[in-house]
Structure 1
Amino acid sequence: MDMKTFASLVIIWNMGIWQIQSQYYEASIQPNKQDLYISAIYRIWIPEQIKKIRGIIIRQHGCGINAKDNGLNHANDLQWQALAKKYNMALLGTELIGKEACSEWFNIEGGSGKALLKALKKLAKMSNHSELEEVPWALWGHSGGAYWCTDILFEYPGKVLCAIPRSGGLAFTKLWNPLVKQVPVLWMAGENDLVDGFDYVREMTKKSFYSYRRYGAIWSIAIDLKADHGNRKGRSFAIRWMDAVLSMRLSNNGNNPIQLDSHDHWLGNLETNEVKTALEVKNELSDWGWLPNEDIAKNWQEFVQTGWVSDSTPPPIPFQLKIERSEGRCILSWKSEIDIESGIKQFNIYRDNELMGIVHGQEHNFHDAPEPVDIKFEFIHDLENKDGQITIESENFQGIKGFRSQGVYDHHN
C-alpha cells in the first residue's frame, strides 16, 4: 500500500479513550532509479482540533534493523507528542532503508532528503493540512539519524528551528555554511559512546561542535557521563532544551524562524561546568556552549554532572473517568495529558483511598523509541460486590505523584 491513513486511531484501538484524540497518517515514497535508499515510510501524528500546524518535530532513527523497526513508532511517543501539542506542532517518525550501507539513506544526496519533501506533500494532502509543506522543522536524530539531521541542517538551514544530533553527525566535513550558525544545535553523546567497538563518537561530536562554535554559532554540547551509544536518560535534558528553543524560535507571523539575539543567553563552560550569562564571559567562546536561558543553563549543568535532570513539578491530573461493566468485568477508563519534562511512569488506581491497581505508562528504549507503542488508559478488573469511590493519580519517572483525579462512584447494586 502506497499510503495509509490512521484517522483517530484511538477510536479503533480503545473505544475513543486515549490521552489525546488525534490522527496518524502514513506515506510511503518509492525511490527513483538514481536513489540509494530502497524504502522510505513516514508516520505523522497531528493533535486533535488543530486548525493550523506551526511546525514539525522530526525524530529520525539510527542504523540497524532494531533502529529501523522502531522508527515509525517515534510518532507514537506520548512525551514528545506532549511537547508537539504545546506548540501546535506535528510529530514525525520515519523508516528508512538503504540498499546495503546505512550511509545510503543518512546521506541525503542519496535521495532521502527529497523523499522527506515528497512525503510531506502527500501527508499535507491526506491530512488537509496544506501548511505541512511549508512549516519549519525541529530535528532530533540518533546515530545514523544524527548524520541525517546534520545533512538536513546544512541543506535547509532556513527551515530548521533547532537540531539535536545524538551520537553522530559531521559538521567539520561540510562545505562552509554561515547560515547554520544562526540555528540552535545541541550536540549530544555518551561518555562511553562506542560503535562497533570503536571509541570515536564522543570526540567526533566535540569536533563538530567546535568547528562552528568558535565562529559564534549558537551551538551547545552535552555529554552524558553515564551513557554509551544508547540514549539512556538524555531526553530529560533534550526535551527541556527543545521546549525552550521552540518558545523562542517559532513565529506567529509566517514560517520563518525568529532570529535570536546573540547576547541575550547563557553559557556553559565545557571544562568546569560552570554557567554564566553571555555578558559575563569575555574569553574564548569555543570554551562555552550556548544555552537559551538560565533555567536550561542549570538543567545543562545538572545533566553533564549527573546524567539526569531532576524535576519538582507534579504530573497532570487524569480526567473524565468512566466506568463500564461488561461480561462480569468492570472497565475503568480515563484521559490524561502527559508530563512534558518527566513523562508518565504509571497511573495509580484507588478505591476509597486504597490502592487497587497500577497501569504502566510508556518507557523508552536504547533508540529512545517508546515501549510499548500504544497505551490504553484503562483498568479492567473482575466485578466485586463492593461499592466505592474510584480516583486516579499519575506518577512521573521522577517518582513524583500528581493530585488525585475527581472520583467516580463504583456502584454494584
Structure 2
Amino acid sequence: MKTNLSFILLFLTAARAIAADGLLLDLVVPPGEKDRFQHAEFSFWIADAAKPVKAVIIHQHGCTNASPDKHPPITGDWHWRALARKHDAALLVPMYHVAKNCDEWNDPDSGSESALFTALEDFAQRSKRPGLKDAPWVLWGHSGGSSWSAQMITRHPKRVLAASFRGGCHKQFGVPEFRAKFGPIARDLPLLFVWGKRESVPGSSHFVSWEPMNTMYRELRGQGGKVCRVIDPRSEHGCDDSRFMSINFFDAVLSGQANAKPSNDASAPWLPNDTFAALWSEFSENGTLVPAKAPAQAAELQAKRAGDGRIKLTWRVVPDLTGGLRAIRIHRDGRLWKDLAIKPTDFIATGRDSTPEALRPMELEDESRDTHGYTLTFLDAASHESPHSPPIHVP
C-alpha cells in the first residue's frame, strides 16, 4: 500500500529513540479525507534492531478511546516483551481516538487498515528493517479489537499466523454471512477465544457476544478447526490474568510446537500441545497460573552517577512466560531499598491488559551522593524471586 511518508513524517511524535531495552518508536497518523477516526497513535518495539523481524504482534485495544497515559501500550510491558524477544517479533500497538462510535475505527474501512499499513511502512523505514512491511501478523484483540482482528483475518488470511480474541465479535460472529466467510479462512488458523465467566450470564452487558462466539467456536470445531476456548473463572470483560493464556498460546505457535491434530469434536477445545493443555486446565480452574519454579534468568541492572551527583538506575527484566511479573525489587548495599510491586491479590495486568501502574517505571534515581552497591530481583505471579542481577558498585 502506497503512503505519502513525507506528509506523515510531519506528525511523528517521537523520532528514533533507543530505549534502555531495545528500540521504541512512536507515530501519530492523522485521518485521511474519508477516514472516520479522529487520529491514530502507534507504538512499536523490537528487542534488537540488528535482527530481522520474523513476526509482528499487533495488540488492539477495545472500543473505549485509547488513553495511553492511564493504559499505556504493551510495548513497555516486560511480559509481552519477553514473548517478542524470544521469537524476534515486533510489538505494535494501534491506539485510536473517535468522536462517537467504535465502528469509526474497528471497521477496517474506517481508515484503520490504511493507518496500520502507514505505520508498518514508517516503522520499517526508521528501524531499517524493510522486511517488517511484509512480516506475518499475530493478532490480539480485546472486545472491539477482537472485531477488528476478525475482519482483518478475512482481508489478509495469508498474513496471519495466529489470533487471540478477548471477548467481542458479536457483530461478526452473530452474522451467518460473516461466519460462512470466516470459517473456511480461519479453520486451519490457530485461534484462542478467551471469555470471562460472568459474561456468560444475561445480566452482563457483554452477554450479547456470548452466543455468537460460541456459535463460531462450535462451527469451527465441527470442521476440525484449530480453535481453543478458555473461560476465565474470575473475570467478566476485563483482561486481568488472561494474558497468561494468550502469551503462551502464541508462544506455542511461534515455537512451531502447535502440532496437536484437531478433531471435529465441538465439545472439546483444540489444545496445541501437552504443555499448553496443562496451562489451560490450571487457568480454567483458577483464573491464573502459579509457576512451580522461580524465574531462572536474572535481570540486568545499570547504574550511573550523573553530573549533579545523583545515581540513575535502569533495568531490563525478562520474566518467564508462564510466570509473569508481580514485583521489581532494588537492593542497595545488601538490603531491600525499593519495592515496585502490586498486591498478591491483584491481577498481573489491568482490565485493558496494560502494565499495572506500580510496575511501569523502567528507571529511577537515587539522590544519595554516597557510595553504594546495587542489585535487582523480580517476583513472578506466585511471588517466587529471581536470582540477583550482577552487583554494580557506584563510587
* Alignment TM-score, normalising by the size of structure 2: 0.84
SS of the residue 1:394 aligns to:
strand
Which residue is equivalent to 1:406? 390
Structure 1 position 136 matched with structure 2 position 136: yes
TM-superposed CA distance for 1:151, in Å, is 0.8
1:74-132 CA deviation, whole Å, 9 max, x = no partner? 32222112211111111111122344211232122333223322332232223322212
Structure 1 position 110 matched with structure 2 position 118: no
1: CA distance, partners of 2:97 / 2:227: 30
d(CA) in 2 for partners of 1:388, 1:74: 33
Structure 2 residue 225 is the aligned partner of structure 1 residue 217 = yes
Structure 1 residue 153: Cα displacement: 1.4
Instruction: Report if aligned partners of 1:59, 1:93 keep a CA contact under 8 Å in 2.
Output: yes
CA separation in 1, counterparts of 2:362 and 2:206?
Answer: 41
Residues 369 and 198 of structure 1: is their aligned pair in 2 closer, same or farther, counting only changes over 3 Å? closer
- SS across alignment from 2:339: strand
Q: 1:72 to 1:123 in 2, by over 3 A?
A: farther
Match for 1:382 among 339, 345, 368?
368
The Cα offsets for residues 329-388 of structure 1, whole Å up to 9 and x where unpaired, read as: 45444444344333332232334543233244896311112244852234525345xx77
Asked if 2 retains the 8 angstrom alpha-carbon contact of 1:346 and 1:360, the reply is yes
Gap change, CA 1:75 and 1:5, over 3 Å in 2: same
Comparing 397-406 and 348-357, the one that deviates more: 348-357
Deviation at 1:181, TM superposition (A): 0.8
Q: Find the counterpart in structure 2 of residue 3 from structure 1.
A: 12
Q: Which deviations, in whole Å up to 9, do the C-alpha atoms of 1:218-259 show, x marking residues without a partner?
A: 11111101101111110122111111111128xxxxxxxxxx
SS in 2 for 1:265: coil
The one-letter amino acid paired with 1:364 is A
- Distance in structure 2 (CA, Å) of the matches to 1:8 and 1:66: 22
Deviation at 1:319, TM superposition (A): 2.9
- The match for 1:397 is 381
| 1:192 has 2:198 as partner | yes
Is 2:284 the counterpart of 1:299? Answer: no
How many Å apart are 1:389 and its aligned residue?
4.9
1:343 aligned to which of 309, 312, 324: 324
Q: Which amino acid aligns with 1:382?
A: S
Unaligned runs of 5+ in 1: 11-17, 250-259, 267-277
Shift of the 118–71 alpha-carbon distance from structure 1 to 2, 3 Å rule, reads farther
**How far, CA to CA, are the matches of 2:251 and 2:50 in structure 1?**
19
Aligned-residue Cα RMSD (Å) equals 2.9
- 1:182 counterpart SS class: coil
Shift of 1:133: 1.6
1:176 maps onto 2:156 in alignment:
no
Q: Judging changes above 3 Å, is the alpha-carbon distance between structure 1 residues 164 and 5 closer, same or farther for their aligned structure 2 residues?
A: same
The 1:327–1:214 alpha-carbon spacing in structure 2 relative to 1, beyond 3 Å, is same
In 1, are the aligned partners of 2:331 and 2:375 still within 8 Å (CA)?
yes
Q: Which amino acid aligns with 1:167?
A: G
Matched residue pairs, number? 372
Query: Cα–Cα, structure 1 residues 36 and 330, in superposed 2: closer, same or farther, change >3 Å?
Result: closer
2 CA distance for matches of 1:41 and 1:65? Answer: 11
The residue type equivalent to 1:171 in the other structure is: F
Deviation at 1:159, TM superposition (A): 0.6
